[in-house]
Amino acid sequence: MNWHPPVPRRVTDPAGNEWLVGRAWPGVSAGRYVLEVHSPGYPGVLGGFFREGRFVPVSADDSKLPALARESPKGETVVHRAHKRAVLRAGDTYIKVFRPEQAPAAATNHVLATAPLAGGRFRTPVMTATRPDVLAFSRVAGRSYYELGQDQATVSDGFFAGMWGGWSRAWTETVARANSSAFRGNLEQLPLRDAEEELAKVRRWMDRWLLHSEGIPEAAPGRAALMAQVDAVKAGLLAGPPDPLGWSHGDLHDKQILGTDSAGMGIDNTGAPGLLDFDEACRAEAALDLANLDVHLELRRRQNLLTARRFAAAHASIVSAASRLHVSPERFEAYAASARLRLACIYSFRPPWGSWAVRYLTSMDLVSPELRRSPGRRAAGREPVPLLSTERSLT
């Protein structure tokens, strides 16, 4: 079974210009998709829609993001999810554009979530401007752990392992500080994201997949597998007692963490890591962040963007953080299974990963005990059988 949502890798706009599809999201109607595209001759990215086989670009004159037209001359658009959100890079400033009146909630979350980090082990963006539909942030220096993980030229395996070890220590110290009595007031004002909320988020992605596959005979095995997997995820999330709720980033993955380059630095001198994007900060079990981060690294491994040795080092650092934060193995695995299912749904809409994501979904292998529980037993440095053949990652 190889059916997946038919999002093309390339689209042509009404003027005849060809674009490469970077990211895609399901639309509100079956067969319609929201696209983010790019082209070698075009700076940044362009948002748009794919409807009935036609690409309809959405420029800075986005009707649902009226501030984008005003802000776009200031810099380059690096994110544009049409009608929902955009991000501009303007020198050392990043400008987030929201729908009208939606920025204040994100600003409040940023202030509440970053207060415990001030003067701590992470460098975070400083909010420099707030309006009802726009937030501006200072740039945080460094490259993402996602990029550093792929850099075999200037980043050694030893430096990479030290980088993740530093993150692990910084993370456990930060979570402990954010959960202390000194920041109890901040924590109580963050949105709640317990196991039931996590399950609801997975179900929303399931509903989108079912909407776009409805009535398609070739999609029947995928639909059946998805329903079975959701039931398994539900059982894992809602079974047994949850771990205590505490401070959570809410969207932790390897593109949200920044590190310094290794040139001229020792393994134990990687500098304070950076941490980005607190829009989804919340109160949750510690397993939410750690499992989500770990599953993203599993994904990079499957994409052949991370070697076995580097995955093992990063995974061991995450497991170490989970141990120090007293995360129960059952809760870690429950949230990991949830993250795998969610990412399988998301990637099924994104070329060139669609067919792979659906095979992943139907393999009934969303829980991977060998990959997770025995990082030290993995053959360090051995390359996997290629599962994907592309250099571009799309999350």
Per-residue model confidence as pLDDT tens digits over 285-315: 999 999 999 999 999 998 899 999 999 999 9
Tell me what pLDDT residue 129 has: 97
Q: What is the pLDDT of residue 261?
A: 66
Position 359 scores a pLDDT of 78
* Pick from 10-24, 211-225, 367-381: least confident: 367-381
pTM here is 0.90
Q: What is the pLDDT of residue 303?
A: 87
Per-residue pLDDT, 264? 37
- 204-253 pLDDT tens trace: 999 999 999 999 999 998 899 999 999 999 999 999 899 999 999 999 99
Q: Residue 386: which pLDDT band, with cuts at 50, 70 and 90?
A: very low
Q: What is the pLDDT of residues 20-61, one digit of tens each?
A: 999 999 999 999 999 999 999 899 999 999 999 999 999 999
pLDDT in tens, 337-367: 999 999 999 999 999 888 888 777 776 454 4
**CA-to-CA distance for 40 and 102, rounded, in angstroms?**
33
Q: What mean pLDDT is predicted for residues 74-94?
A: 97
More confident of the two residues 269 and 104 = 104
Where does the pLDDT of residue 262 fall: very low under 50, low under 70, confident under 90, or very high at 90 and above?
Answer: low
